[in-house]
Structure 1
């Protein structure tokens, strides 16, 4: 379970970094300065990490159910 904890923490901190980068770009645009072109690519790396960790965290409950033998279908 330690592994899941660290992935969750990594996901949280990466989301904070992503939010700060995007906010800084919008603030720079609001001030009236046009940032250099490569600044617009800065959020892409944290966003890619967020996609992979988010998909992992999304699949955790389904994987736990599958491991316990309950499957994904509900029987009434």
Structure 2
């Protein structure tokens, strides 16, 4: 298990993060989305949804881009 983003969460106020789990899947920590009905309708119109047992979170773009760079960098190094 390893962190892919951030430098730690010491404030306890907001701590978005992406963690790679031992099985290769990812744990995403973010804020609970308080979206309007109209916003959820747009999400569903894209063909996306939240299934039973799933939750959605909002993660700042810079956090997700940092995780993606680390993942992509490791894949290109190993090729």
Asked whether the two chains share a fold, i.e. TM above 0.5, the reply is: no
**What is the TM-score of this pair, normalised by structure 2?**
0.34
Structure with more helix by fraction: 1
- With the length of structure 1 as denominator, give the TM-score of the two structures: 0.35
